[in-house]
Amino acid sequence: MPETVQESAGHWQRDLANAVRSADVLLERLGLTAEQFQSAATGTHRLAPGPFASEETLRQFPVLVPESFLRRMVHGDPADPLLRQVLPLSDEDQTADGFVSDAVGDLQARRGPGVLQKYAGRVLLITTGACAIHCRYCFRRDYPYVDEPRRLEEWSSSIALIAEDTSIHEVILSGGDPLMLNDGRLETLCRQLDQIEHIERIRFHTRLPIVLPSRVTDGLIRLLQSLRAQPIVVVHSNHASELMSDCAEAVKRLSRSGFPVLNQAVLLRGVNDSVEAQEALSRRLLQLGVMPYYLHQLDRVSGTRHFEVPEADGLEIHRRLREVLPGYGVPRYVREIPGRKSKTELPDE
Ligand SMILES: *Cc1c(COP(=O)(O)O)cnc(C)c1O
Ligand code: SF4
């Protein structure tokens, strides 16, 4: 008998409650030991004794990994590309020149409570600070989410701002992750935006279909299909191994539901910094009906230097990708430079 929507709606919240919240548990579940992790960090700034981040870093940005994502890691492999995205190494405690807390100029772009505008015609809403996973390279890991609206009533001034500005044609729901809102709150927000005539598109920037596939419920798909504005879903997957089992099913359901699904990835050292990894990612995305959109050069946020791939290496990977993939399978390689009118395609000439 098919599940009722009500039942499936509860699953993802339960899955989230059961997520792994410590590096020790993560390693234990994968049959790994702390000794298998060498950190590139030198002794001088070392805050924690082992290979893992200090307690202070973990208090600010704790480990969070849903079971579904964990199940897609290879048991016993310390270099697993999924594990590398969520394992808090002591490198995070390192300060480095040029790596700052607001690397992308978000705070200068704030137009109102929870509203960022950097580019013409589109605004981005910080709908929540919550995510279902904590990616250690996150560009908004230091964003002051507590200052942004929490309850729906607090959105009214931002919705009014969007309603008054007829130059805005697209609203991007971001965060955190907008699909962390429950269906009721998400629907209320979407309906309010949908009533604004000059809003032609509502875009969802979400990693939940990748890391917590149970979030892709019938109710969610029906909500998107019922919007007057064109929904566009932009997922965030960095490696072909993420796009397996329950995640592959969820992503395919989205792409077959009649709205565009795009992917953005971040170029990450030790995760996807090879032609092979990028080609496999694009091919897997295309197989699931998802168009590769952006490959982001890492934003220089404090504590993420160990993930950085030199731009010259990224350019070489990108050049070779164009030789092995169809044009539509090659993501745009971009970097965010504060103050520009769009993301900057690399090379920046
Ligand atoms: C990246 C970003 C967007 C989206 O840019 P597109 O090129 O339209 O994908 C919009 N607003 C902000 C603040 C952004 O950082
Ligand atoms: S899902 Fe996105 S916003 Fe959330 S931790 Fe990962 S990179 Fe950051």
Residue nearest to atom 7 of ligand 2 (CA): 138
pLDDT at 214: 97
> With 80 as the cut, is the pLDDT of residue 314 above it?
yes
C-alpha distances out from residue 128 to 22, 101, 254, Å:
23, 19, 22
pLDDT at 2: 47
C-alpha distances out from residue 207 to 44, 179, 246, 262, Å:
35, 8, 14, 11
Task: Say how far apart CA 23 and CA 29 lie, in whole Å.
Answer: 10
Task: Say how far apart CA 268 and CA 284 lie, in whole Å.
Answer: 18
Which is more confident, 42 or 221? 221
The chain-wide mean pLDDT, for the chain, equals 93
**How, if at all, do strands 201-206 and 170-174 pair?**
parallel
pLDDT at 154: 81
CA 36 to chain centre: 27
Task: Say how far apart CA 333 and CA 315 lie, in whole Å.
Answer: 8
Residue 301 dihedral angles phi and psi, to the nearest 5°: -95, 140
> With 50 as the cut, is the pLDDT of residue 237 above it?
yes
Is 328 strand, coil or helix? helix
> With 50 as the cut, is the pLDDT of residue 83 above it?
yes
The DSSP code sequence of 286-327 is HHTT-EEEEEEPPP-BTT-GGG---HHHHHHHHHHHHHHS-G
pLDDT at 48: 61
Residue 3 confidence class, pLDDT cut points 50, 70, 90: very low
> With 80 as the cut, is the pLDDT of residue 159 above it?
yes
Residue 167 near residue 121, CB atoms below 8 Å:
yes
Give the position, in ligand 2's atom list, of the atom nearest the Cα of 174: 3
Residue 49 confidence class, pLDDT cut points 50, 70, 90: low
Give the count of beta carbons closer than 10 Å to the beta carbon of residue 281.
26
Q: Which ligand is in closest contact with the Cα of 345?
A: 1
Residue ranges, CATH 3.20.20.70, the chain: 107-345
> With 80 as the cut, is the pLDDT of residue 227 above it?
yes
Residue 96 near residue 305, CB atoms below 8 Å:
yes
Q: Is 258 left (phi over 0), alpha (psi -120 to 50) or beta?
A: left
pLDDT at 40: 53
Calculate the CA dihedral of residues 248, 249, 253, 255 and round it to 10 degrees: 10
Of 51-60, 138-147, 182-191, 224-233, the one with minimum mean pLDDT is: 138-147
> With 60 as the cut, is the pLDDT of residue 6 above it?
no
pLDDT at 153: 76
pLDDT at 151: 75
pLDDT at 108: 92
Q: Ligand 2 centre and the CA of 21: distance in Å?
A: 15
Substitution site in 343, 344, 345 for ligand 1 pocket (most atoms within 8 Å of beta carbon)? 343
Q: If you ran DSSP here, which 8-state letter would residue 230 be given? A: E
Q: Ligand 2 centre and the CA of 315: distance in Å?
A: 24
Give the position, in ligand 1's atom list, of the atom nearest the Cα of 123: 11
Which is more confident, 81 or 46? 81
The average pLDDT across 75-93 equals 96
Residues 6+ apart with CB under 8 A from 24: none
The pTM (predicted TM-score) of the whole model is: 0.95
Element (H, E) at 193: helix 183-194
Diameter of the chain by CA atoms? 61
Residue 1 confidence class, pLDDT cut points 50, 70, 90: very low
pLDDT at 143: 82
pLDDT at 44: 45
Strands (DSSP E) found in the chain: 110-112, 115-119, 122-126, 170-174, 201-206, 230-236, 261-266, 291-296, 332-335, 344-345
> With 80 as the cut, is the pLDDT of residue 7 above it?
no
> With 70 as the cut, is the pLDDT of residue 77 above it?
yes
Which amino acids bring their CB within 6 angstroms of ligand 1?
109, 116, 118-119, 122, 124, 172, 342-343
Of 46-60, 94-108, 152-166, 222-236, the one with minimum mean pLDDT is: 46-60
Query: Regarding the domain with residue range 107-345, which homologous superfamily does it belong to in the CATH classification?
Result: Aldolase class I (3.20.20.70)
Q: Ligand 2 centre and the CA of 207: distance in Å?
A: 7
Q: If you ran DSSP here, which 8-state letter would residue 89 be given? A: B
Give the count of beta carbons closer than 10 Å to the beta carbon of residue 141.
19
Residue 43 confidence class, pLDDT cut points 50, 70, 90: very low
The average pLDDT across 221-246 equals 98
Residue nearest to atom 1 of ligand 2 (CA): 207
The average pLDDT across 19-34 equals 96
Task: Say how far apart CA 38 and CA 119 lie, in whole Å.
Answer: 41
pLDDT at 8: 58
